[in-house]
Structures are given as C-alpha cells and as structure tokens.
Structure 1
C-alpha cells in the first residue's frame, strides 16, 4: 500500500495545472508563490515555487556580480526551511533534505505584458524542496512564515496541503503569516 506521503507528492506533482505552471514560468503572478505540503506520520515533504521577482527583486537571468550574489544568497536562505517556516520547537523537527535552485525560461520571448522585461525577457523562478522529520508532530499546531520577512517582495503563498486527515488549500498573506494546523494533521 502506498503511503499518503508518496500519494501526496504524486498528487501534487501530477496535477496538470501545477505541471503547466512549472513548464511555463511566465504563467506565475508576481508576489504570489506556491507551496505544496505532504504530511504523513513524522515526515513532511515541502515544495516551494516563487517568482524571481519575489525572492531577489528581478526575473532576468543574473549576469552582474551583484545580481549573481543576490541569487546565491537567496539559494542559501531557501536551503534553510526551518528559518523560512517556523515550527514549534516542541515538534522536534529536523531537516532530512533541502535543495534550492533557480530555474529560468530562456526561450521565453513572446511576453509583452510586463514593461520591466522588455530588455531581458527570460523569466526566473526559485524552486526549493524539503523533507523534514518531526519527532512530535502533534506539537505542530501552526507554521509561522518568516519567509515574508526574508523576502520583502513576496506578498502571498498559495498552499496546498495533504495529511492523514485530508487535503486542504490556504492563502497565506504577508499581513497574516501564520497557518493554523489544528485539526489538519
């Protein structure tokens, strides 16, 4: 029998709408990222997608040393999920895996609706994946999103979550950066 974690990751990654937004980076909305979360037992799988403009303030391919440094710094920050998503220390969560990268759509050339992309038309999107292990998952009653403090251009995260209890969707906004997990684990 497949576990709900594998099922959750499969559902999240096989969703045609999510796959389409991954293939066509230009389909994202500035200020809005996506977060998929699958929870089973002590394991939490998290997948984050955010426009380059939200994370580093631009979406063109970094060429200057200043821009490359901004991208490198962002990837370092994105590689630390417990600094982005604050969970009660009572949950005793640790990072099993963390990976962050910048994806770009270099072949994108028919994008006319954003003036800021006229000189350099490639879109970029940050993608991060995490696996956490929480020894006391019952103590995880909420997630506070320090993500918004670390990335001032980010305004909202659209969250899809699957757990032993069911599937949920949330919109977490900068003004109210807390996800209530009571009754959802």
Structure 2
C-alpha cells in the first residue's frame, strides 16, 4: 500500500485495510430492521446513523464496531460469529435478546451486519424476523428481495426456526 492509500484507509485491529470510501450496504427488510455489510469506518457509522439506525448487531469476528461509534449515539452489540457457526441457542440468543430490546423502542431501528452482508447477517436477520412473528416464507422473501445474493440454506433456516420455537416456549 502506498503512503497516499494509507492516508485514506481505516485499519481493522487485524491490520486489514479498508478504504474510507468503502460503502456499507444497508438492506431494509422491515421499517425498522435492516441487514448488510460491514461498517468498517467512522464515516460509514455516520451513514448508518443518518439512515435512522439506532442499534447495530455486529456479527464479524474481525472487528469491533464500538470503536467507530463516536458521537452517533448508536448502541452496538458485538456478537463474534465465524462463518462456520452452528447457530446454536448459545451462539444466537445474545444477538436475539439485543434485537428484542432494541426493537422495543418505537423510534429505534436495528442494523444486523457481517463482513459481506450475505451470510451471517442474512441468517440472523431471518431469526430476528421470526422472533418478531414473521412467518418462515415471508421472512425468506423479505431477505431475498432486499439482497438476492443472501445465503439462506434450508437446513440452517430449519435449525434456526426450531431453536427460535424453543426460545418462545
């Protein structure tokens, strides 16, 4: 990386460089619920705040978004999940509890994100929609309409649905 590039990049704790003009993708699936890609820079955290988002679930194990909050007022829950997650209750319940608390406030909006905004964030957003009472087919359709490249494997969604049903019981 050249000196000019270094000046325009933000750096992950792991040393991975992200250019400040890297866009965060925000895909709305409900009036107060969106999912998408990493935030990665203070400028993108401001974009997220300007979109009306008040709460963030960060599923990346690569970077802690609380370092980017600044004066945005956004509340961040860092739920480190690797791509090889088994979606057990232990793994997903803290994120779902944060989502429930966040969405209790009538003026709050939640953004769920991972690195690329296609895999972990799509699945946890599916789980949030299901916890909110959205039927399985509707939750899948909302996610696919918002992001056609979202990865939603039937087996994983069945597992998530079963675990969410147990949480409700």
Is TM > 0.5 for Structure 1 vs Structure 2? no
User: Which structure exhibits the higher relative contact order, with contacts defined as CA atoms closer than 8 Å and separated by 6 or more residues?
Assistant: 1
Whose helix proportion is higher, 1 or 2? 2
Write 1 or 2 for the structure with the bigger share of strand: 1
Q: TM-score, normalised by structure 1?
A: 0.31
TM-score by length of 2: 0.33
Which structure has the bigger radius of gyration? 1
